[in-house]
Amino acid sequence: MAWQQAAGIGSKRFVCGWCSNTVAASLGYQDVRAGSGVKIMGDKIYICPHCNSPTYFSSERQYPGAAPGAQVANLPPDIKALYEEARQCVAASCFTSAVLASRKLLINIAVNNGAKEGAPFIAYVEHLASAGFVPPNGKGWVDHIRKKGNEANHEIALMTRVDAEELLSFSEMLLKFIYEFPSRIPAS
Ligand SMILES: [Zn+2]
């Protein structure tokens, strides 16, 4: 490949995998056939106008991919690291790993909020529900996660993007309620 800075490459809107902002980039590079200057359709590198980092697009696949969910403030360091790891797994299309990281995350959230260690995975999720961390109309989530948890545990069941994003958004909701929102109350 030979990369050439492309004037008039056209604006591209995407979620930057580096800074998580939705951006419209118009500065980029395009693959050209070495020496001939002939442009190869498809492969492009765009530079994020916010963080200046490069993102590579090949046949509309994006590297690095955008991590789903949002950053959550005021997390304990271990929980923050695990949440970010689960997000990055989804961005890298490693969905089974993302589900396993999210389950580990939920266990840590539960233990951090009073659950006893050494229980089966679903006991931690049930602890979060019974201790009032899952909203009343969110109980269907607990049943759904129980079913999915069993699938992942007892069979070699590869998880899908939907599975990974569901569990991650459930985790994000809990993290916001448990750690971020309480920290926003002004000290009186
Ligand atoms: Zn960026």
Please give the distance, rounded to the nearest whole angstrom, from the Cα atom of residue 98 to the centre of ligand 1.
23
- pLDDT score of 111 more than 90: yes
Output the pLDDT for position 58: 85
In angstroms, what CA-CA distances link 137 with 3, 41, 133? 52, 49, 12
* Secondary structure (3-state) at 46: strand
- pLDDT score of 35 more than 60: no
Cα–Cα distance for residue pair 130/135, rounded to 1 Å: 10
Q: Where are the alpha helices (DSSP H) in 21-66?
A: none
Please give the distance, rounded to the nearest whole angstrom, from the Cα atom of residue 99 to the centre of ligand 1.
26
Please give the distance, rounded to the nearest whole angstrom, from the Cα atom of residue 47 to the centre of ligand 1.
8
Please state the length of the chain. 188
Please give the distance, rounded to the nearest whole angstrom, from the Cα atom of residue 130 to the centre of ligand 1.
40
Question: What are the extents of the domains in the chain?
Answer: 2-63, 77-183
Average of pLDDT values for 180-185? 89
The reported pTM is: 0.74
Looking at CATH, the fold of the domain delimited by 77-183 is given as Four Helix Bundle (Hemerythrin (Met), subunit A) (1.20.120)
| pLDDT tier for residue 36 given thresholds of 50, 70 and 90 | low
